Copies of this chain bind each other. A is one copy, B any other.
Amino acid sequence: MDNFIYHAPTRIVFGRNTVSQTGAELAAHNVRRTLLVTGGSAAMRTGAYAQVTASLDGAGVMHTLFSGVTPNPSLDLVEKGIAAAHAFAVDSVLAIGGGSVIDCAKAIAAGVFLEDYWAQVETRRPVTQALPVFTVLTLSGTGSEMNEKAVITNEPLARKWSLSGLCLCPRVSIIDPQLQSSVPWHLTAAGGIDAMTHVMENYFRGRTARAATGYFQEETTLQLCEGILRAIIMSLDELQRDGSDYTARANLAWAASWGLNGLSGSGLSGGDWTSHALEHALSGLHPQVPHGEGLAVIFPSWMEQVCHSVPDIFTRFARTIWGVSTAEEGVAATRQAFSRWGAPDRLSRWSIPASDIPRMVQNALSYRALGRIVPLSAEDVTSIYTRVL
């Protein structure tokens, strides 16, 4: 088990009707005036916006709306949000949404202290100052509600890169699974698959097993990863039968939060993240690709590419997650589950031409964490894309 630091200080308020506690939570953190960051009309349609503002009003917290955040939020949007935060002199940001909205809110929170947001991203150094961030989660998957990362797309550069910093960890995240009861199935599935891949990008960095006992170097982390994965899989299966199932929504939400808050990578030297690099290269160039669906296409192709190079961990995965025997069967079972949940399995879903692959490969290779489990050449990365064209 490699050395690590684990620090996820976010306070989680979880459960039915917890959205009504939003105002009290912000007031307890001395918030007086917050920037409410939301996406399109979903927060209005579902009533989440009305419930949050009623709670803020009740607690005497002033708020001003910055709406219209899109999936794969752009630098352009972040800059507009920073201007709004300055104009209204807010002391905090409150995201109502899923990962895109939360990431945009985090970027705004840091951006008010930066001269040039993207210049900071390119330094790859953590930020040390940001407005306090709060979230009301309406779509589970990214785990942004409990971590220190914000992923923003620079469309002119076709780059989807993250900024991080402990100050970006939300002070409080409200996870009220009822707010997700009307999320359409394809978004529910994409969120669940996204969360699974967060765990798997770490998990497969597990080392070889001890021959005598099957004990792995990072046994504790691997056991926890397996628990999170099984919980997501079972909860997705329940939700595919009945999307209004509160219990399954709650379990999916709680498992997804643990996918990317540091625990699933503890002792694994930060995981690998090749599939995320390949997906970010894809959706950075084609922002119409939903992150979770892009991963559903790429992850099994990456598994197929590397599973024979690290057989112990892929065999363990096959056995503990799917109840099958071989690494190949584990890869096949993963692909079948993604298909059963209706996720795309080909880049052709978004009419990506083969001629785009060289640019995506070049972009993917610029990610630092690429190929940690198994080193990958430009040719290997090309194969991963081409296999699922």
- Interface set of A (CB-CB < 8 Å, partner B): 1-16, 18, 213, 215, 217-221, 223-228, 230-231, 234-235, 237-238, 247-248, 250-252, 254-255, 258, 266-267
Contacts and interface: CB of A to CB of B under 8 A. Distances in A.
Contact of A15 (B4, B8, B12): B4
Contact of A254 (B220, B237, B255): B220
B254 A267 contact: yes
5 contacts: A1-B247, A1-B250, A213-B237, A220-B235, A223-B255
A219 B251 contact: yes
A231 B235 contact: no
Query: Chain copies in the assembly?
Result: 2
A139 to B, nearest CB: 17
A12 B3 contact: no
Nearest to A173: B6
Nearest to A224: B227
B18 A14 contact: no
Nearest to A14: B4
A225 B238 CA distance: 21
Contacts of A254: 1, 220-221, 266-267
Contact of A3 (B16, B221, B228, B230): B16
Contact of A14 (B230, B252, B266): B266
A11 B1 contact: no
Query: Ordered nearest first, which 9 A-B pairs have the shortest CB separation?
Result: A3-B15, A223-B227, A9-B9, A227-B227, A220-B231, A6-B12, A7-B11, A1-B250, A220-B251
Contact of A224 (B3, B7, B213, B228): B228
Given A1-B254, A230-B223, A266-B254, A217 B14 contact: no
Contacts of A3: 14-16, 18
B4 A251 contact: no
A234 B251 contact: no
Contact of A11 (B5, B217, B220, B226): B5
A242 to B, nearest CB: 11
Nearest to A219: B251
Contacts of A13: 5
Contacts of A10: 7
Nearest to A217: B247
B215 A234 contact: yes
Contacts of A235: 215, 219-220
Contacts of A16: 3
B220 A255 contact: yes
Contacts of A215: 234-235, 238, 247-248
Contacts of A217: 247
Given A3-B14, A3-B18, 19 more contacts: A1-B250, A3-B15, A4-B14, A6-B12, A7-B10, A15-B267, A213-B234, A213-B237, A213-B238, A215-B234, A215-B247, A218-B251, A219-B235, A219-B251, A220-B235, A220-B251, A220-B254, A220-B258, A224-B224
B237 A219 contact: no
A218 B252 CA distance: 10
A216 to B, nearest CB: 9
Nearest to A175: B6
Given A227-B224, A231-B219, A14 B9 contact: no
Contacts of A226: 223, 227
B250 A267 contact: yes
Nearest to A207: B247
Contacts of A11: 5-7, 9
Nearest to A235: B219
